A = this chain, B = another copy of it.
Amino acid sequence: MTGIRPRPPAKDLRRPELDELDERIVGILADDGRITNADLAATLDVAPSTAHARMRSLVDRGVITGFHASVDQELLGRGLQAIVGVTLRPGARHDSIVAFADEVRRLPQVLQLFFIGGSDDFLVHIAVEGASDVRQFVVEHLSAQRYVATTRTSIIFEYHRNAVAAPFR
């Protein structure tokens, strides 16, 4: 048996404490993840070596979790996007739900998956070619699944993104 620990020895594994320069760097890279370090430094009005060290630190500390190309889904042949709200059957076991969600998450049509509290259990953001593909996706991968109670599909007319959030659990 272990004794009580009066206080964890103030040892935060990672505690970033972003200063103003860090925040500016995050903002610039969120907007243009491929800006050259020289341009980044010029924008910040610091030396390239400083900009570089700061950026590395942000990546190392996990503040910046990655860099990603954003893709025009329409030009990829997926001109229609939708959000599908899904409610699950009350009886489903937790690990069954996790396994099911994991499968949904891997489908190529799925852009994002949100597990939420409230009337729906999760939201799926998909991109497909046309209206019949929306229906097919919902029927095949959601409604027909044994853990799914209901679905509610909303077509997306317009989409804006200010930031790319890191996935989390």
Contact = CB atoms under 8 A, between A and B. Distances in A.
Contact of A116 (B14, B69, B83, B118): B83
A110 interface: yes
Interface stretch (A41-49, A140-148, A154-162): A154-162
9 contacts: A18-B76, A23-B76, A29-B68, A31-B68, A34-B67, A69-B164, A83-B116, A83-B123, A116-B154
A117 B155 contact: yes
Contact of A75 (B33, B61, B113, B160): B61
A167 interface: yes
Q: How large is the interface on A (under 10, 10 to 19, 20 to 34, 35 or more residues)?
A: 35 or more
Interface in A49-70: 61-70
Given A30-B71, A115-B159, 12 more contacts: A64-B70, A70-B165, A70-B166, A71-B165, A74-B168, A112-B160, A113-B158, A120-B154, A125-B165, A159-B167, A160-B167, A161-B165
A159 B70 CA distance: 18
B155 A73 contact: no
Task: Pick the 8 closest A-B CB pairs, nearest first.
Answer: A118-B154, A115-B158, A29-B69, A33-B67, A116-B154, A70-B164, A34-B67, A113-B160
